[in-house]
Structure 1
């Protein structure tokens, strides 16, 4: 994924490559590799991720978020998912989470929100299935 932020990212790129190379179970479980690749390709197809190259035309730095696959054998639906490690960093470089600005809490007064929700005749809702990618 590409983010226009103010820090160098070469360290996170190398951390991502190291983590990917350490995942040896892909070699012994080709079905797991296929599912992982399909999930990552879906991120690209749906616009949640962009291919990042080392040669930059606009001069803006990119960051790479390390990720790995999680398999839940007891799950009925999503047995495989990709987990992003935004806390991962290399010495001398910040993690992705450490440079994010903190927003105000949206759930500060949940009771007030629920009461106001019932007062309206028309309410809009959204599918938040992949809201974590935004």
Structure 2
């Protein structure tokens, strides 16, 4: 039987990050908040929603603390989608991708867990 290795979210990951499209501004993310291209938002397949991580551009050494608010990226070769604001602070090239390391630094906050557990309801009618 083959050995299947799971990705452990508490370990440092290395791989390619890509940039979210600015046109997604205002759309809802997996945690229920709206996407702001200038924010510290990233999307990860493995890190818990609401957790914080340190992302480092391996080419130039710049790093940024980010918050996981969405799921993705949807391309298999990538480990992270970053907002345009994070990409700018990391000094990512205009090609839209960079080799990064992602080191988790904090789990989801109590508020994030409570918000995630609260069901979303439509507007109340008057």
> What range is the shorter-chain TM-score in?
under 0.3
Structure with bigger strand share is 2
Structure 2 length normalisation: TM-score? 0.24
**Relative contact order higher in (CA < 8 Å, ≥ 6 apart):** 2
Q: TM (normalized to structure 1)?
A: 0.23
Return the index of the structure with the highest Cα Rg: 1
Of Structure 1 and Structure 2, the greater helix share is in 1
